[in-house]
Amino acid sequence: MRLTREQIAAIKHTAHAVLGDDARVVLFGSRVDDALKGGDIDLLFETDQRVGNRATTVGALYSALIRQLGDRRIDVLLKDGATTPAPVFEMARRTGIEL
């Protein structure tokens, strides 16, 4: 996994600050593979709670991550208690690493 301990701590802190203590985060995509270089940070945030405004919540996650990690490419997926199952969430969980 190509994230530092500090980056992982910042991502988990952001998840809990925005979504609450039950939030989970999965890193997926190219950053999971130590043999690759570069690439954006692909993150799936999950909570069992229902999120009021998904766009606002995704924006809050993204902006907090940019403040913590610096200006870099970050893709944010959000699955809350009301999200319909989709292949992208299953793929992220299957191929990713929970932080």
pLDDT 10s digits, 75-88: 999 999 999 989 99
pLDDT of 1-57, one tens digit each? 789 899 999 999 999 999 999 999 999 988 897 777 777 899 999 999 999 899 999
What local confidence, expressed as pLDDT, does residue 71 receive?
87
Q: Which residues, 6 or more positions from 2, have their beta carbon under 8 angstroms from its beta carbon?
A: 31, 32, 33, 34, 36, 39
Give dist(CA 16, CA 62) in Å, integer. 13
Phi/psi at 50 (nearest 5 deg)? Answer: -90, 135
This prediction's pTM: 0.92
Q: Average pLDDT for residues 56-71, to the nearest whole number?
A: 95
Which domains are assigned to the chain?
A: 5-98 (3.30.460.10)
